[in-house]
Amino acid sequence: MKAVMKTRPEPGVEVVNIPVPKVAGDEALIRVRAAAICGSDLGIYNYTPAYSGMRLPVVLGHEFAGEVVETGPEARGLSAGDRVLAESVKACGECGFCKAGMSNLCDASALFGIHTDGGFAEYAAVPVSLLHRVPDSMSFEEAALVEPLSNAFHFVRDITPFRFGDLVVVHGCGPIGLFSAQLFRLGGARVLVTGLTADSARFRIAERLGLETLNIEEENLAERVNGLTGGAGAGVALVATGAPQAVKQAVEIVRKRGHVTVVGIFGGDVPVDMTRVVRREVTITGAYDARPDNFPQSIDLITEGKVNVLDVLTHRFSLDRAEEAFRVALDRSGGKVEFTP
């Protein structure tokens, strides 16, 4: 089968031909129909220090959906022909975090496409406990976006305290920023999404979704925030970019006792005005990946039409065109990019 792999500890990916994976006892073999490129895949492509611990060689991809073609002898609940989507974390199920429903923080987890073979391939083997049924009304293209929407759901609902009417600033207008912004709006917040001149294609998506935007290279963010809040500052800021400057800016624009949730992955240390954090009692929290219960919740949001993931999807490629697909995702000339193997 064709697969997009990382084989060497250096920038780039390769399209290779490898055997179809064999299913273990508790696994299902999935014929992958759609698999999306994540921001983390771009770090993997560039082989940044945050991914130096990844397994090599490995089939990339952790946001994918397809049809079950075969199941192992201990795999219960699914059979050939079922439409499914996969969670991204293969957790141990034994540690305290797993037992508390927080497998995103598992002490011994393996992530698809980083530590174990993922979904940028014609087939993938996945434990059935990590598969969710895709409703008939949902396309595979949408189903592959349930994983990143689940991440955004976790960041917004589980981690970030905000209230109806709060001003929320989302720093970064990539797919996670655009999903999170829709969720904050759904929760009754007034949302402002920021980006750079290079994000013009993403601003157009945001505007199509009815979101308010601000280009921080053209307009002063603090002035807009102060204007909207009578000088108090935003209730919440979500940093959905790996740009260190965005964290610094988020700390500057939240109100006293405001909250900054950081979800970007950074290339190194991030400078922050910590005295301002102290004197204004600002809370800064990290948020990572998704919990298992975020998946069914996100499936419902899509099928109920409460969140629009399809407008964020702008490009589709065959596995052969992996280089082109990564180029589009890296230069931010679109929203979400998917493989349709």
Please, are residues 225 and 233 in contact by the beta-carbon 8 Å criterion? yes
Nearer to Zn ion, 5 or 91 (CB): 91
Does 106 contact Zn ion by CB under 5 A?
A: yes
Tokens of 297: 């919740």
Does residue 38 interact with Zn ion by CB under 5 A?
yes
Q: Which residue is nearest to Zn ion (CB)?
A: 38
Contact stretch for Zn ion (CB under 5 A) within 6-14, 90-98, 224-232, 312-320: 90-98
Considering the complex, state which of residue 282 and residue 302 has its C-beta at the smaller distance from Zn ion: 302
* Chain CA centroid to CA 173, Å: 12
Is 1 or 95 the residue whose CB approaches Zn ion more closely? 95
The DSSP string of 96-132 is: HHHHTT-GGG-TT-EEBTTTB--SSBSEEEEEGGGEE
Q: Which of the stretches 97-105, 217-225, 263-271, 279-287 binds Zn ion when contact is defined by CB under 5 A?
A: 97-105
Are the CB atoms for 237 and 253 separated by under 8 Å? yes
Cβ closer to Zn ion: 188 or 267?
267
98 binds Zn ion (CB under 5 A): yes
Work out which of 5, 34, 91, 181 binds Zn ion, going by CB under 5 A: 91
Residues 195 to 224 in contact with Zn ion, rule: CB under 5 A: none
Q: Which is nearer to Zn ion, 98 or 183 (CB)?
A: 98
**CB of 268 vs Zn ion, minimal distance in Å:** 21
Tell how strand 83-86 and strand 89-90 pair up. unpaired
Task: Measure Cα distances from 11 to 14, 49, 74, 119, 265 in Å.
Answer: 10, 11, 39, 20, 17
Torsion sign, CA atoms 178, 181, 182, 183: positive
| Torsion 142-56-43-98 (CA) sign | positive
Q: Binding segment for Zn ion among 88-96, 137-145, 228-236, 292-300 (CB under 5 A)? A: 88-96
Q: Which is nearer to Zn ion, 156 or 167 (CB)?
A: 156
**Does the protein bind Zn ion through residue 92 (CB under 5 A)?**
yes
Give me the phi and psi of 133, to 5 degrees please: -70, 140
Site residues (vs Zn ion, CB under 5 A): 38, 91-92, 95, 98, 106
